[in-house]
Structure 1
Amino acid sequence: MISDDRIIEIEGLYTRFDSHVIHENINLSVYKGEVLALVGGSGSGKTTLLRQMLGLETPAQGNVKMFGYTRYDCDLDLLRSLRNRSGVLFQQGALFSALTVFDNIALPMRELHCLDEEMIRDMVMLKLDMVDVGVQHANKMPAELSGGMIKRVALARALALDPELLFLDEPTAGLDPALSESFVKLIQALRKEFTLTIVMVTHDLDTLAAISTRIAVLADRRLVALGKLPDIIKIDHPFIKDFFLGERGQNALQSLLAGP
């Protein structure tokens, strides 16, 4: 078991696809209760690193621990236990198109094989309420939902098993500014209520400004910056200057530095 507040520990991680190197010697920890945002340019390996934390991909070299256990050296029971302690909101929601809203959210609960259908029904309705989706939408198919509704239902599914750790892959991608702002406020409220630890991949500066407590910057196959924004923007690196200090980043930067 871990002896400190580290929920995820990444040590000496290398990622290669044939001769193409994505990551070189990445070392990173995620601490209980924080919101760590992963940012980087296209091809920097943000989502790949997220998938390695999830155990969906294996690095060429190095180690990933979750809750003190090595992600790639677990027996089946321990692996299931670790997965049940985390939830994932995939980009674009990734709802199962052949399942109703109800059945999408119920799926993780049914996979436990220890809850009866009455309990599952009550829990699904509770999760829908948590994400401000009315129960009248429970029997709809994903194709009948708006983009914002899909995100909320996918978030309800990610929270189905009351996880301690939540992964968000581009949580506001595809949403207009108003929907994006309301979704960010929902995540903020849920994080506060349930003391969630969050790892988030995002390219949206407004979302990053509103949610993140620390930022990890991936560039040149490595971690070039890690910390709070005032420290990161002092680093002389082309991507950091363009992303945070370019014209498109000024408004969000001012918001983040101003704080709540």
Structure 2
Amino acid sequence: MSEDILVRLVNVTKYFRNVSGFSKVRDLILPKTQNHSIEVKNITIHLYRSEVLGLVGLPGSGKSVVGKLMAKVVAPSEGKVKNEHSTFLASHNHIFGSNASLNELLDTIFIAFNVQSSLKEKRKHVLEFAEMDASKTYNDLSDFEKSKLMISLAYFLKPEVVIFDDLYRHLDAPFKEKFAMVIDLLVKEQKSIVLMDSELSFIEQKANYITWLSHGQIRKAGLPKEVLPLYKNYIKDYESCRTDEERELFDLDYKMKRANAKEDSTGFSRKEKYGYAIIDEKIQRLFFVSFMLMTAVLLAFVLMINGIGVSERQVINEDQSILKKEGATFTDKYAYALMLGNNDIKGPTNFKVPYGTVFPISGYNDQLYRLDLNKKTYTTPKKNIVYINPAALYDEVTLSELEPYIYDNYINYRDFFNAYLGKSHATINKELYPETNDRYSVKLTKNNIYLHFDDYNELNAFSFPMKNEKKLIDKYKIKDDYWISKVGQGFIVADFKKNTWIYIQM
């Protein structure tokens, strides 16, 4: 085990809000109401290179959540997580749920992890090692088969960090031996392992450091010989509880600390911390109803005052005058704006969009483009935008013709990637494993491919590196910094300032 730390969790707390009905509206008005469930509280964990870290704890202790935090599948509510290394989360409850065939699922995972060799050959190796065939979908697999598949994937992907979440207990004896061999081989290759399982014998055999979680908190951490004897006694005490009531009262002090997770970090005064608990729920409801009635009366009064002395005809004329002024400001035009930087978008709310975002243009004037996004009007300066006119007579090319000038990982799998055009952001996150998660642009893990989303949050463009740009310029006699071409139902833009392609599907 080296001194190189691959993953850091520092003072991390993760909670999920539990709001519905009256409580949900109340939380909007009383934001300090403590209405969430704590998963993990104020934990600090370091994972070193070549280390096998064992996470132990009763069901519900927060082990799986810690695994997802380390893999950056979920973000912390408080604290910091640092992991800049390729990570594979091998868990039945991760993002593998799919009705796709195993071949399709494996191809998706291989591309996400930038596998360079033949996908067909790699699929064959993974399935043979897992002692499976490709006839089933992932959702049709048993827990035994899912566990074997994920262990095989971890072995052939060889990421820097592998997190095994409760797989060992689902295996038969021969594959348990194979699993132990995989861990040994990964450690020899200086990979880091996180091991979670209810079978302590396996963790005791493989882990060189143990972190014991209890009700989302670290109870003890250290060498296996220091931690596991204490944990085994703890398990015996828990199993000696005969009734549900006894189990509820077991380890009550840690359970109460978990429930009061905010008390250590918010800095509230005593009154601010606990004032919410003093007011009975019925009284809160009465206050809330009274507040809403008073608000409604006040709003009606304001509307009545604003309407005094203003005739309906005058209001209509003023509205029409405003519309005429707005209509005179812009010339209507249907086109597309390709954003070339951190562009300012102004309207009902102001925001910025990154490079590669494509929005529809509905009008223009000397300085601005008008954008209609989600039935609302916005504007953006003309600078740092490539104007794409769907009616223009651009050069018509095919991706096959441009293949010598396009990044290999995109052009070699273009049919796979292009099948996702028009898919939702949620689908992309679930199936392509991006390493970033911005609203308008995400980067694929270990690939120089960016995916861009439109105002409906659907994928409408890719950007990727250009190669052999001088040959491209000579072949097509290009003289400008930006070259727009028609490709099927979309466009491709060559940005010679950034040596980048942007492929857009309309």
Q: Same fold (TM over 0.5)?
A: yes
Match for residue 157 of structure 1? 153
**Match of 2:450?**
none
Residue 19 of structure 2 corresponds to residue 24 of structure 1: no
Residue 225 (str. 1) matches residue 220 (str. 2): yes
Change (3 A) 1:8 1:138: same
Structure 2 counterpart SS, 1:242: helix
1:121 maps to which residue?
A: 120
Question: Would you say the 8 A contact 2:99–2:139 is kept in 1?
Answer: no
Letter in 1 for 2:69: Q
Q: Could you tell me which amino acid in structure 2 is paired with residue 219 of structure 1?
A: S
Q: Distance in 1 between matches of 2:139 and 2:168?
A: 19
Corresponding position of 2:74: 57
Q: 1:31 deviation in Å? A: 0.6
Q: Which residue of 1 aligns with 2:144?
A: 148
Q: CA deviation at 1:63?
A: 0.5
Q: Is the 8 A contact 2:130 2:152 kept in 1?
A: no
Contact 1:15 1:22 in 2 (8 A): yes
Q: Which residue of 1 aligns with 2:234?
A: 242
Q: Secondary structure at the match of 2:12?
A: strand
2:5 matched residue in structure 1: 6
Q: How many correspondences in the alignment?
A: 221
Greater gyration radius: 2
User: Please, which of 180, 186, 189 is the counterpart of residue 191 of structure 1?
Assistant: 186
- 1:254 maps to none
Specify the code of the residue in structure 2 equivalent to 1:89. Answer: A
Tell me the SS of whatever aligns to 2:121.
helix
CA distances 1:198-254 after superposition (whole Å, capped 9, x unpaired)? 11222221221232221100125421211212212576xxx5522389899xxxxxx
| CA deviation string 1:111-142 (max 9, x = no partner) | 46885xx811122223334x3536xx134444
Aligned to 1:15: 14
TM value normalised by structure 1:
0.70
Percent of matched pairs sharing the same residue: 19
Contact 2:53 2:207 in 1 (8 A): yes
CA distance in 1, matches of 2:115, 2:238: 52
Contact kept in structure 1, 2:57 and 2:214, CA below 8 Å? yes
Partner of 2:87: 86
How far apart, CA to CA, are the structure 2 residues paired with 1:114 and 1:229? Answer: 36
Higher relative contact order (CA 8 A, sep 6+): 1
CA contact (8 A) 1:92 1:151 kept: no
Tell me, in whole angstroms, the C-alpha distance in 1 between the residues paired with 2:205 and 2:158.
23
Q: Is the 8 A contact 2:52 2:206 kept in 1?
A: yes
Structure 2 match to 1:109: 110
Structure 2: unaligned runs, 5 residues or longer: 17-34, 241-506
Q: Find the residue that maps to 1:56 and give its secondary structure.
A: coil
1:36 corresponds to which of 53, 58, 61: 53
Structure-1 separation of matches of 2:61 and 2:45: 15
Q: Which residue of 2 aligns with 1:208?
A: 203
For residues 197 and 211 of structure 1, the distance between their equivalents in structure 2, rounded to whole angstroms, comes to: 12
Distance in 1, Cα, partners of 2:109 & 2:5: 26
* Whole-angstrom CA distance in 1 between matches of 2:143 and 2:113: 29
Q: Which amino acid aligns with 2:37?
A: H
1:47 aligns with 2:64: yes
**2:168 aligns to what SS in structure 1?**
coil
The one-letter code sitting in structure 1 at the alignment partner of 2:73 is: L
Residues 27-66 of structure 1, C-alpha deviations (whole Å, 9 max, x = no match): 1101101111111123221111111112222222100111
CA positional deviation for 1:105: 2.0
Distance 2:93 2:235 in 1: 23
Q: Would the alpha carbon gap of residues 44 and 217 (structure 1) be closer, same or farther in structure 2, given more than 3 Å must change?
A: same
1:108, 1:26 → 2: CA distance?
A: 30
Q: Secondary structure at the match of 2:47?
A: strand
Task: Find the aligned partners of 1:139 and 1:242 in 2 and give their Cα distance.
Answer: 44
RMSD of Structure 2 on Structure 1 (CA): 3.3
Q: TM-score, normalised by structure 2?
A: 0.38
Q: What are the ranges of 5 or more consecutive residues in structure 1 without an aligned counterpart? A: 68-81, 249-260
Contact 2:212 2:220 in 1 (8 A): yes
Q: 1:113 to 1:32 in 2, by over 3 A?
A: closer
How far apart are the structure 2 equivalents of 1:113 and 1:175?
Answer: 29
Which deviates more from structure 2 when the two are superposed, residues 215-224 or residues 163-172?
215-224
Q: Which amino acid aligns with 2:160?
A: E
> Contact between 2:15 and 2:36, CA under 8 Å: does it hold in 1?
yes
